[in-house]
């Protein structure tokens, strides 16, 4: 005799998967929206205060290198600071791209910063990696949702 699976065997892991992919998708979409919006934000003069490579080794096979910057900028006589290179940049990993960014923006270089309220960015627009990860995470989210609804 065939016994039907208990509803929790499908809905508990499925709900956890929806929560994880849904939160990731929300963050990715937020970064995309902020990136595109930053093209229209006001500009302010700024100075790169520090620039460095950050290396992360999440496993024995993979090494991720990120370009990290900190800068100050002045708005209406008030000095502010920021460290966002580009929206979605925190998911970008590559030695070559990090080297290019650090060579172009050494400490002490005068730059133009885009800002709006508490947000500021050195490079307007979304990172190209957002166009890879957003559809991928959206597909996984949709597949989990489809499987939960249809029971497959």
Task: Please give the pLDDT value at position 5.
Answer: 65
User: Cβ(10)–Cβ(146) under 8 Å?
Assistant: no
CB neighbour burial string for 63-99, b if at least 16 within 10 angstroms, e if fewer: eebbbbbebbbeeeeeeeebebbbbbbeebbeeebbe
Task: Please give the pLDDT value at position 93.
Answer: 65
Mean pLDDT of 54-62: 77
Dist CA 30 CA 13 (whole Å): 26
Residue 9 pLDDT > 80, yes or no?
A: no
**Stated pTM of the model:** 0.81
Q: Nearest 5°: phi and psi at 80?
A: -125, 165
Convert the pLDDT of each residue in 112-148 to its tens digit: 999 999 999 999 999 988 999 999 999 999 999 999 8
Average pLDDT, rounded, for the chain? 90
User: β-strands 43-56, 64-75: how paired?
Assistant: antiparallel
Residue 1 pLDDT > 60, yes or no?
A: no
């Amino acid at each position: 005799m065939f016994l039907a699976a208990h509803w929790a065997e499908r809905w508990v892991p499925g709900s956890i998967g929806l929560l994880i992919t849904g939160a990731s998708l929300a963050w990715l979409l937020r970064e995309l929206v902020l990136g595109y919006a930053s093209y229209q934000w006001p500009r302010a003069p700024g100075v790169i205060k520090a620039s460095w490579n950050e290396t992360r080794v999440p496993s024995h096979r993979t090494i991720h290198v990120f370009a990290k910057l900190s800068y100050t900028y002045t708005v209406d006589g008030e000095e502010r600071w920021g460290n966002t290179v580009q929206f979605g940049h925190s998911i970008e990993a590559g030695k070559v791209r990090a080297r290019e960014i650090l060579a172009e923006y050494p400490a002490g270089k005068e730059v133009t910063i885009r800002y709006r309220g508490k947000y500021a960015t050195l490079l307007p627009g979304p990172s190209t990696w957002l166009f890879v990860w957003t559809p991928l995470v959206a597909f996984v989210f949709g597949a989990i949702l489809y499987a939960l609804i249809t029971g497959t």
